[in-house]
Chain A
């Protein structure tokens, strides 16, 4: 009974949130002085109109999927890591260093090595916050944010000093040689092999969380730390493990951006995806497949919105507003039911 009630409730929630979000989008478009019908037409043409546009969705989604997965893994244990941004940069830096310097190693092996090293480095970077939390009980939120700024500023230093392209004087690294790049898979687009890695990671993480005893432990710890401990599951071990995985996944996102999309390290390479990832994980209720879907939808909205921006001058920041609105509505969903109950009561009173 109660299960079914919960389910119908969840369905009505989703419908209400969708309607309100689309409504908000439409109002924002009208506010720009654009005709919503034309705008939506452009929006969808941007997404489905060209091969380049459609594949661009996945190029944009790739880092979001990986950082979103990183957040989802760690939120399952109740550890609120907001450090995906910094972990992304650490991964990008280490991957660049390996890819540029280990030229003796043949291309594909160097590529794998570079990503793996990035994974480990990002994991260790996230571990700092886990140790602060597990050992000293210091809020992981502030620690991860501080670590983000440290990583971002260090990158700013790196691309101006030891990682700077010796051939130029722009703050960016030298170009990664082609052998170690992640190849474009569909000609005339930017659809690259890294996207396949990201999708593979979705299934690996899903398998890990859903099908292994480690995933079972993570879930148990996230839902009830005391109960887990009383049944012999180590809380500390699981927080540390999930933080490491989380940092690693975000770092791989950074590595792929370097090896596939930009082909070099530069400032602002994350495009804030580490922060967006937090929201993507929340909207996906920390489910890996959910992260995949939400990240792709979000990127599609971005692609569609940038086509609106180009041709009608509707700012693409609409997409940022909308994902914010979705999360706020998810948090506020109790309100729908309160209002509904009140309405029912009023109706009952009159009858």
Chain B
């Protein structure tokens, strides 16, 4: 069995699958990092991604254009995040409750709309985004085919991860956005409009989560199915914690989830008899253990999920 695994072709295919499975998590994760760094916890990421998935499918189907589909997915995700913004920023409601309610609502809404749209028929798969091999980079053994022979959305994600990292590390605005999540009162006293900034992060949260959902449809599967996010939104939340609220940490954590998933699929195809279900437990168990390991050096923004009311302590 080990000989079968330790071949270059197996490892290459495995890594490539890991990356592909991780990309939606990474989109959700980066959207969540941006929101949480400014103090908004969006448990509703699952709903955001589901909305992104459905509307991207509907958009692409009716327009016959992947780009229009992507745009619809973005708008679908955005609408959900803005609803969360309304409930948690403007109406200062409990962010966890709001997020959960949104997940249930979107599960119903997307299933309903899909039934309405399909009327019982099943759809053909959409044409999906094509892979683009980056010349040079993609011929690096192992890593090349996995990371540099991907679709356009994956490359955009790479760029976005780097930009996000630079934004928080190097820019004036990045510092302000982080201060909003750490100590809103200090931010306000430095002249930052806390809730305005929080609305802005919810826009990013929705757009990126929407793309994450759309990715499943427009790149991976070409179809929409009910409840197709099936927990990826929650896993994205876990990758953020595991990655300690940094883009690259989250990248690594999402890759871990992707790898565990890919391993389970790959092992099945070569007929290895470890239960895929036991393998699927691995990333969740790892997350719990990793969270225990992170005790004491918490990187969670201090004002996470606390509503900010101007003038209060």
Contact = CB atoms under 8 A, between A and B. Distances in A.
B111 A317 contact: yes
A139 B292 CA distance: 11
Interface residues of A, number: 45
Interface in B92-146: 93-94, 96-98, 100-109, 111-112, 115-116, 119-120
Interface in B157-175: none
A282 B116 contact: no
A335 B107 CA distance: 24
Interface in A109-139: 132, 136, 138-139
A142 B108 contact: no
B203 interface: no
Given A31-B116, A278-B100, A160 B275 contact: yes
Contact of A132 (B105, B231, B234, B291): B291
Contact of B275 (A28, A157, A323): A157
A210 interface: no
Interface residues on B, range: 35 or more
B285 interface: yes
A327 B100 CA distance: 10
A141 B104 contact: no
Contacts of B241: 139, 142
Contacts of A279: 100-101, 104
A154 B111 CA distance: 27
A82 B100 contact: yes
Contact of B105 (A138, A282, A313, A324): A324
Interface string A249-261: 0000000000000
Interface of A is mostly: helix
B287 A146 contact: yes
A315 interface: yes
Interface stretch (B63-71, B83-91, B184-192): B83-91
Contact of A331 (B97, B226, B285, B288): B97
Most A CB atoms within 10 A — which of B97, B277, B292? Answer: B277
A32 B115 CA distance: 9
A31 B280 CA distance: 40
A320 B97 contact: no
Interface of A: 28, 31-32, 80, 82, 132, 136, 138-139, 141-143, 145-147, 149-150, 153-154, 156-157, 160-161, 275-276, 278-279, 282, 313, 315, 317-325, 327-328, 331-332, 334-335
Contacts of B93: 331-332
A328 B102 contact: yes
A142 B86 CA distance: 23
A324 B275 contact: no
Contact of A315 (B101, B112, B237, B287): B112
Contacts of A145: 231, 234, 237-238
Given A150-B284, A282-B97, A161 B116 contact: no
Nearest to B106: A324
Contact of A146 (B108, B112, B275, B284): B284
Nearest to B226: A317
